[in-house]
Structure 1
């Protein structure tokens, strides 16, 4: 997030919420947004479903799944046409040549055309564009409804275009703010859990960065950029990847096209899983290493607003579990690299020594009265640096702001006569991702413990399906059985399913189409057919 949660929910005039249901998927932030609206902040919701916050929204654009880029381009078309852009910001802070390219590209994204693509009303799109552009302070908040598409990267960059042309970056109550989907996802990315980056987003492709880490670690490093997680599965089937170490992930439950994932795991010569529970993926492992939970170890987590916070050991551990750092260190040693066992505090010192944006962060400082338990937000570049609540103040790190020139493209798999419905997937309030932890809680399971599919009431009537009926849902990849929930929450021709439940997991149906840059799967659009069971 470019700004803080407190900033974007208490200092904003308008909130543009795109592809996110924070009351269920991020309930703490959802509570902040709800409170902001109750205190006068206006709300624009851009989402294919009727979510809780649409009841409080000034505008709800119930757009067709997979049309985020068209929506953003349409917003910018209206802003330019109606003289709502921030000319001074565009001139002084952004690439003028690229702005002219953007201006030319969005000429064809008239309200009429965008309304047809997105299945929304023209006047509501115009209303949303004016409301956001005219507000003094207006953040964009988005989540997986933007990123989990084959055009997800373009969707994110197109939202950045909106903020830049309106001059709403580097200021209070503004910014472009992705909500991270799981605890410490931000911290994992910050620490180089991507094949393209070292810590602090220092690029593997940069020879100077390679030389720096070789010197710090006293070893030669492979300068070749690796492959992303979702790209691994076809390479397992092809035999290019023969061994795999999975750490805290359950792809048999959470990744698209489960048959494909199953075939990939069965193709491996050797699979190791480091886990807390016997997950669906762990059942395929040759070796399971028992890891520890957050309550059983020391360290830090980084939350969605870049805030690095201390985690302290709360309970003693029974059994033969080990901290993940001990496991990693032992593997390194047994593979011939003499890596000493470092304490979490020592590891944090090493991170600071090789990562400019973390140079001012240490356990001592995070534990001090100065910080007071609130943590520090990177960039934090020296021991006396206060951290950075708002990014891009005064200038961008790259210099001039760049624009994405992305045309709208349809999703990889569109509905047809055989598979006439668009299926979206997501989460519900009561469960968390793969249910590795939440389905161990009896009280939660009493509330929500089985699969369901939301079907539009007009579609259900046509198919002879009543609320509560058992239905068969099929795609080109598989078939499952679930329970129908009939309402107007989804649009005609659109359905929605959670992926938590093994009695009808939607990921047996989803398509393994990937975003061309980030390689995120297209969970939000796949074609299915439905019939009464």
Structure 2
């Protein structure tokens, strides 16, 4: 997030797109609702009429995968009606002329053809966003999990810069992280071409620094992103895989391909707190402690580094993750300088400017948001205050490109996937909670009343859902929150795993993100015997 959670109640407008915020990020969702109660306007863009859409001043029910066309049309209105922040654009940005050339093609009427959103609603949303003094955009995987996801993110940034909504409080572009330490994992080098602190593996100076720090020879070679790792495992190029705190047998697209890839490995090591569908395939399972059973830090969605303290003893042979890594390093013959988590934190501060001023003493009572380069730095509540990291913010014009799979005669519906309030990711933890399981014990597919009538399907009846990758049976949930040509499934449930159907072959050219949010499916009523 460019901005902070405590800022949210004081914003003038929230624009939520590609995020079912009150169900997937309920704490932040509650903050947005508080802002609305305080008088803020609310725009929601989503393929489903999600819960928070009921509070919206404008609800834009777009077709999955058409975010770029919608946002370009909003900018078309903002530019042509002179609603943009001319001073901000002049002083702090570059590349506007190229953006104008593109957005002029996306009139609200053109966007209506692509998105299915009424042109007048697009105009209303554009004017509302542009007139707000403090407008914040919130997005999640409904923006990123597309074969054109990088372009979707760039377009969000274009809109924010056009109206001067970056580099100040109570505004910004705020991607909402899906799990508690996703931000921290990325910060610490959990990416294929980064060392900790987003320092590139291709930079000789960075390589030299970490070789000296770790007393080891390091590679300049970029690693593979997850999707391509699975492809390499499938082809035999990768022989060993070490999976930590992840359950790709439920969370990754094209489950059949994932199983084949993992089964083709010579060795699969899985490190987790509970047995999962992925540990079932492992050669070695390493049991580890959960958050309440270890000391350390997490970095949350607003870049805040926070202490985690051991409250209870871990069961059996479970160890903290860092202890497992230390044991492996020792068995590989390495000198290990870590005796406690604080030693790791000190090395992070030494090697990574973003964390340079963060110590256990400083975050004893309250976390600090990076960048925090020095011990006397207070941390950074919002980014880009005086300038962007590259100097001037760059407008990147993006055209709408259709999703890799659209409806056809054989597969006449678009499936989009997501989460529900009562479960977390692949249910590794939440399926073990009796109350949550009682409320939501099985998967479902949402279909519109018109679709249900045409299929002859009643609410609660079993249907067969098929894509080019697989088939499953699941109960239908008939609801008017979904459009006629769109169906929705939560991906949590291994027994009716939506990712059996989703598309792993359509990847974003830049990020290699698979197109999890759009695939073509058929839906048929299952005849009872």
Smaller-chain TM-score bracket: over 0.9
1:320-469 to structure 2, matched below 5 A, reads: 320-367=317-364, 373-469=365-461
1:217 to 2:224 alignment: no
Aligned to 2:121: 124
1:33-52 to structure 2, matched below 5 A, reads: 33-52=32-51
Q: How much has 1:421 moved relative to structure 2?
A: 0.2
| Cα distance in 2 between the residues matched to 1:318 and 1:54 | 43
1:218-367 to structure 2, matched below 5 A, reads: 218-367=215-364
Q: How much has 1:269 moved relative to structure 2?
A: 0.5
SS in structure 1 at match of 2:514: coil
Q: How much has 1:451 moved relative to structure 2?
A: 1.0
1:5 to 2:5 alignment: yes
Q: Is the 8 A contact 2:426 2:494 kept in 1?
A: no
Q: Is the 8 A contact 1:479 1:508 kept in 2?
A: yes
Aligned to 2:462: 470
1:444-523 to structure 2, matched below 5 A, reads: 444-512=436-504, 513-523=506-516
Aligned to 1:370: none
Q: How much has 1:317 moved relative to structure 2?
A: 2.3
| Cα distance in 2 between the residues matched to 1:236 and 1:471 | 33
1:90-105 to structure 2, matched below 5 A, reads: 90-95=89-94, 98-105=95-102
SS in structure 2 at match of 1:458: helix
Residue of 149, 154, 157 corresponding to 1:152: 149
| Cα distance in 2 between the residues matched to 1:397 and 1:445 | 46
Q: Is the 8 A contact 1:433 1:500 kept in 2?
A: yes
| Cα distance in 2 between the residues matched to 1:258 and 1:317 | 32
Q: How much has 1:204 moved relative to structure 2?
A: 1.2
Residues 400-437 of structure 1: per-residue CA shift (max 9 Å, x gap)? 10121211100011110000000000000000011000
| Cα distance in 1 between the residues matched to 2:88 and 2:326 | 49
Structure 2 residue ranges without an equivalent (≥5): none
| Cα distance in 1 between the residues matched to 2:87 and 2:304 | 31
Residues 361-399 of structure 1: per-residue CA shift (max 9 Å, x gap)? 0111111xxxxx220000011111100001100111110
SS in structure 2 at match of 1:15: strand
Residues 287-326 of structure 1: per-residue CA shift (max 9 Å, x gap)? 1111110111100001110000000000112311122112
Residues 113-172 of structure 1: per-residue CA shift (max 9 Å, x gap)? 011100010000000000001111100110111011111111011000001111110111
SS in structure 1 at match of 2:394: coil
1:152-191 to structure 2, matched below 5 A, reads: 152-191=149-188
Q: How much has 1:229 moved relative to structure 2?
A: 1.3
Structure 1 residue ranges without an equivalent (≥5): 368-372
SS in structure 1 at match of 2:104: helix
1:10-25 to structure 2, matched below 5 A, reads: 10-25=9-24
Aligned to 2:61: 62
| Cα distance in 1 between the residues matched to 2:261 and 2:296 | 33
| Cα distance in 2 between the residues matched to 1:341 and 1:319 | 23
Q: Is the 8 A contact 1:11 1:172 kept in 2?
A: no
SS in structure 1 at match of 2:417: strand
Shifted more, 501-510 versus 411-420: the winner is 501-510
Q: How much has 1:86 moved relative to structure 2?
A: 0.9
Q: Is the 8 A contact 1:482 1:503 kept in 2?
A: no
Shifted more, 432-441 versus 512-521: the winner is 512-521
SS in structure 1 at match of 2:316: coil
| Cα distance in 2 between the residues matched to 1:503 and 1:232 | 25
SS in structure 1 at match of 2:135: coil
SS in structure 2 at match of 1:397: coil
Q: Give the structure-1-normalised TM-score.
A: 0.97
Q: How much has 1:342 moved relative to structure 2?
A: 3.1
Query: Across the two proteins, how many residue pairs are aligned to each other?
Result: 525
Moved over 6 A (4+): none
| Cα distance in 1 between the residues matched to 2:208 and 2:463 | 58
SS in structure 2 at match of 1:366: coil
